[in-house]
Structure 1
């Protein structure tokens, strides 16, 4: 089982190395938001002192955890796209018919994609530091477990979606109806109290969004703090998404019965 885990992670790493544009896209997307979008909202959006911040902060500083979550979210969806591609090419069927337990193979895939996502997040944080976005030194260490938990949750969501996507052409619809609503209806770009000022319903939707809790978990971890409610909700969402994905890939009950 360890050998299969290493092999799947190595395959994910090789695929990532050979797709340099994937790495660049993962960095360009949040950097555009950080340098362009944030510049336009810096003066328009006021931020009060809210935990974990001890003083007033710039808008660029506020959205950094959300942009870290963006990298994890898009990479999780990219991983699901690769699963759909592997299924169409037949390599997914070969993988799932190996003697290893199906849940272990999917978990190995999840670990591999999450590890790549974390590397991309640290690369983004390094570039952000060059532009003056300063964070506590220990925050770069304490954020690692938060990134792991959040990455597993979003990777499990991608795994779940891949069990229902039949063709690559359908992935664009998933991008529009899953990724963007999940990102924009969260605390990644705006504090929840700002949402409440405009609409209580919108605030409640954002508060129920699992991505919001993943972002808040990363936000507090970057400032060497632990947000226990965010950790609990993120882990619960991870368990639910993983269980649903395993059901989806179960040939006896799930959708993979019709696809493989």
Structure 2
């Protein structure tokens, strides 16, 4: 137990030091959603009208609607970037040594997942602080209630990155896989448009968005920002996270997953 806790502390500390040393990563994590908020949302403000739909009690502007989706974007991109670094560490870095340690692999992967999720949550709160300066503010209860939602959503999206990294043999291939996964997940979700908007254009798109795990992660964050509970979103986000984590553990199992395929 002591060894497991030492490994957890070491992995989280290493990820924190790496994040502090890579200031460009922090800036890029904030610039991306801020561009969407300031440029994209401003351009679509007049074209997209949003009706009164939970958790909103009144008509809301598009900038306010898009903020939870941009929080999910930060979690999604950071989870993928963390998995990209894991592919490098697995081949020639510290993770290569950790995977040969007597500690269970599922625990090492969980430690890495917790570390990346912690970094993601800090980035989300930094983004919310900037949006508050921009004029988009939420209640103090919302800033507190969003924390568990960010933990659940971050773990699910980080587990997605781990599952993908277990299938990648070369670092060069991961960027293409990231783009193949990130953009469909983001655009085919409620991050940018509500489900009823999707239903107006295509029932098929509506059904795809409704099945997208990222949609439920975004809705969990959206309701939490208004200090409201969305049980359906929580259930599906947790289920998706457990399935993806199980796939990642299976993929890193030397008897069945990545290492066997390499031999």
- If the length of structure 1 is used for normalisation, what is the TM-score? 0.98
CA shift at 1:215, angstroms? 0.1
Runs of 4+ residues deviating >4 angstroms: none
Q: Which residue does 1:180 correspond to in 2?
A: 183
- What's the CA shift string for 1:193-240, capped at 9, x where partnerless? 000000000000000000000000000000000000000000000000
Classify 1:90/1:117 alpha carbon distance in 2 versus 1 (closer, same or farther; 3 Å): closer
Q: Which residue does 1:93 correspond to in 2?
A: 96
- In the TM superposition, 1:137-152 aligns within 5 A as 137-152=140-155
Where 1:138 maps in the other structure, the secondary structure is helix
Distance 2:186 2:169 in 1: 24
Which of residues 38, 41, 59 is equivalent to 1:38?
41
- What's the CA shift string for 1:164-190, capped at 9, x where partnerless? 111121122112210000000000000
Which of residues 190, 193, 210 is equivalent to 2:193?
190
Which of residues 169, 172, 176 is equivalent to 2:172?
169
Q: Is the 8 A contact 1:163 1:256 kept in 2?
A: no
Q: Does 1:15 align with 2:5?
A: no
Distance 2:122 2:7 in 1: 22
Distance 1:64 1:210 in 2: 18
- What's the CA shift string for 1:225-259, capped at 9, x where partnerless? 00000000000000000000000000011123344
- In the TM superposition, 1:175-254 aligns within 5 A as 175-254=178-257
- If the length of structure 2 is used for normalisation, what is the TM-score? 0.97
CA shift at 1:90, angstroms? 4.5
Q: Which residue does 2:70 correspond to in 1?
A: 67
Classify 1:90/1:24 alpha carbon distance in 2 versus 1 (closer, same or farther; 3 Å): closer
How many residues in Structure 1 have an aligned counterpart in Structure 2? Answer: 260
Distance 1:124 1:257 in 2: 41
Q: Which residue does 1:136 correspond to in 2?
A: 139
Q: Which residue does 1:156 correspond to in 2?
A: 159
Q: Which residue does 2:117 correspond to in 1?
A: 114
